[in-house]
């Protein structure tokens, strides 16, 4: 099924005309076919941004991943806040002169910090989130 063709007369700058002549000189190529393909591609591209076509999917993935990181950070902070609130509520503060209690607290805190450092340095996690288990 052949579509009707319309003749157009157009003017091109000399350097562009020379490039068109060189392309059309190749076997199986014609100026009309080259110009028709170029105009069709240009018109089709007008409706969408070339940057959106190239990077849209990747940006959508990155946005989703960033959303998951933000959600995980919120869960972690809320968990820590609730734990600290609970611990402060159930434990009485140490007396000013309780040096043994303060020394024990400092030792426990140092052990806690060391454990966190080992976990982070080793790339391990104490818990796994649903997202990592393939939910």
Residue (of 111, 113, 105, 62) closest to 87 by Cα position? 105
pLDDT tier at 125 (50, 70, 90 boundaries)?
Answer: confident
Note the pTM of the prediction, 2 decimals.
Answer: 0.45
- What number of other Cβ atoms are within 10 A of residue 35's Cβ? 16
Are 24 and 34 in contact by the 8 Å Cβ rule? The answer is: yes
- What number of other Cβ atoms are within 10 A of residue 102's Cβ? 13
Radius of gyration of the CA atoms of the chain, in A: 34
pLDDT tier at 48 (50, 70, 90 boundaries)?
Answer: low
Mean pLDDT computed over every residue of the chain: 85
Residue 25, pLDDT score: 92
Residue (of 16, 54, 63, 56) closest to 35 by Cα position? 16
Are 37 and 26 in contact by the 8 Å Cβ rule? The answer is: no
Residues 119 and 112: their CA atoms lie apart, in Å, by: 11
Helices 14-24 and 31-46, packing angle to 10 deg: 120
Residues 73 and 129: their CA atoms lie apart, in Å, by: 12
Q: Write the pLDDT tens digit of every residue in 25-41.
A: 999 889 999 999 988 88
């Amino acid at each position: 099924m052949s579509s009707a063709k319309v003749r157009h007369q157009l003017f091109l700058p000399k350097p562009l005309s020379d490039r068109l002549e060189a392309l059309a000189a190749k076997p199986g190529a014609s100026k009309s076919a080259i110009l028709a393909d170029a105009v069709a591609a240009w018109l089709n591209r007008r409706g969408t941004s070339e940057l959106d076509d190239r990077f849209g999917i990747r940006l959508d993935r990155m946005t989703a991943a960033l959303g998951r990181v933000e959600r995980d950070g919120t869960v972690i902070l809320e968990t820590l806040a609730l734990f600290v609130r609970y611990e402060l509520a159930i434990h009485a503060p140490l007396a000013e002169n309780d040096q043994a209690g303060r020394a024990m607290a400092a030792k426990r805190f140092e052990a806690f910090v060391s454990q966190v450092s080992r976990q982070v340095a080793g790339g391990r996690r104490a818990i796994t989130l649903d997202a990592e288990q393939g939910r």
